[in-house]
Amino acid sequence: MIRRNVFAGLAGTAMLAPLILPAAAQGGDLELRRRIVSASTFSLMTSRLAPNHAAAATVKTFAGFEVAEQTSIMQAMELAALPVGQVQMEAEHTRQLRQLETLNGADFDRMYLQGQLTGHRELLSLHQRSVSSGARDDRIISTIAVAGIQQHISMLQGMQGGRG
């Protein structure tokens, strides 16, 4: 059921195709790419909840930026024909997504911001690893992603009042 929900969430962005391609050998670290897509999926799906669950306008605005960022990363991977095979979100990400679905207002905002900050730190680490060891197309995509992720971490820390 969780896999179906992940795929259903991504189908609306027309990003499903690269997620279910066979894991053809095209260079790069397939497992690293899968981890990036898994973390990106968490960020995307939780951000899609914000317009209907968040209280703060800044959280809703950030979520819009995040949806655009994750969608563009997945589109770039698709354009580069980078296979990832079957991808599922990590169990902890799935748990957090389920919990966020039940929250509204300030409670949603707090959990969403903390989840995004933790998730962005994870994405930063994964993309930095890809920059240093990935195949050419992975390095190109991750090089661009790193700058945006660093900006988002700063934004998230600011929205949390510097607690992050």
pLDDT(5) > 80 = no
Of 13-22, 47-56, 139-148, 151-160, minimum mean pLDDT range: 13-22
Segments making up each domain of the chain, as ranges: 2-159
Question: Residue 18: its pLDDT value, please?
Answer: 39
Q: What is the pLDDT of residues 73-113, one digit of tens each?
A: 999 999 999 988 888 999 999 999 999 999 999 999 999 99
CA distance 135 to 104: 41
First to last CA, the chain: 32
> Using CB atoms within 10 A of its CB, is residue 100 exposed (0-12), middle (13-18) or buried (19+)?
buried
Closest CA to 128 of 141, 116, 143, 118: 143
- Dihedral Cα 84, 87, 92, 97, nearest 10 deg: 110
Q: What is the pLDDT of residues 22-81, one digit of tens each?
A: 333 344 589 999 999 999 999 999 999 999 999 999 999 999 999 999 999 999 999 999
2-159 architecture in CATH?
Answer: Up-down Bundle (1.20)
The count of C-alpha atoms lying within 13 angstroms of the C-alpha of 147, restricted to the half-sphere facing its C-beta, is: 5
Question: Residue 28: its pLDDT value, please?
Answer: 58
* Band of pLDDT at residue 118, cut at 50, 70 and 90: very high
pLDDT(11) > 80 = no
